[in-house]
Amino acid sequence: MERTLILLKPDAVQRGFIGDIISRFEHKGLKLVGLRMLWISHKLAENHYGEHAGKGFYDGLVKFIKSGPVVAMIIEGDDAIATVRKMAGSTNPKEAALGTIRYDFGMHTGRNLIHASDSEKSSEKEISLFFDVDEIIEYDKNEDSWIYEKDE
């Protein structure tokens, strides 16, 4: 099973969408294996957004992600990275597909509620920035057989 990092940004936390967003992933059949709430330090923000350093929007990204508490989570499931990104929607909520998190709850690119890893490589890096190995919980869910068809 694939894992991906999701950050519920300060706007999602302040607007009370934590439960709604987690429920969407669980209802889809994805499994929550890591969860924590934190204030992101300047150093962590720079490490997380390092690929954008030097771009015009970089300082705003770093400032915003530090502006309030963030919920970091690890979601696990078949094709989890692509599934979560599709559920999150386009970076610009005005361009996001109907029914996505950003379409349903967002209004502006700078306040788009959620970060989701975009590849296996970035997922591994981002998970290691926000979680220690012992904070990732391995467990079986009874509903897995109702979600995933097993090859026989």
Note the pLDDT of residue 56: 86
Name the domain count of the chain: 1
Q: Is residue 111 part of a domain?
A: yes
Mean pLDDT of 43-57: 90
The reply to whether 68 falls in a domain is: yes
Instruction: Indicate yes or no: pTM above 0.85.
Output: yes
pLDDT of residue 106: 94
Structural domain including 98 reads: 2-137
In a domain, 152, yes or no: no
What is the CATH number for 20? 3.30.70.141
- Residue 82, domain member (yes or no): yes
Residue 92 placed within a domain: yes
Q: What is the pLDDT of residue 152?
A: 60
Higher-scoring residue by pLDDT: 29, 142: 29
Inform me whether the pLDDT recorded for 151 exceeds 80.
no
Q: What is the DSSP letter of 134?
A: G
From residue 69, alpha-carbon distances to 23, 27, 45, 89 in Å are 19, 25, 12, 22
Mean pLDDT of the chain: 95
Least confident of 53-67, 120-134, 136-150: 136-150
Active site residues: 115
Span 124-142, average pLDDT: 95
What share of the chain has pLDDT > 70, as a percent? 99
Question: Residue 145: inside a domain, yes or no?
Answer: no
| Residue 146, domain member (yes or no) | no
Residue 148 lies in a domain: no
pLDDT band of residue 17 (cuts 50, 70, 90) is very high
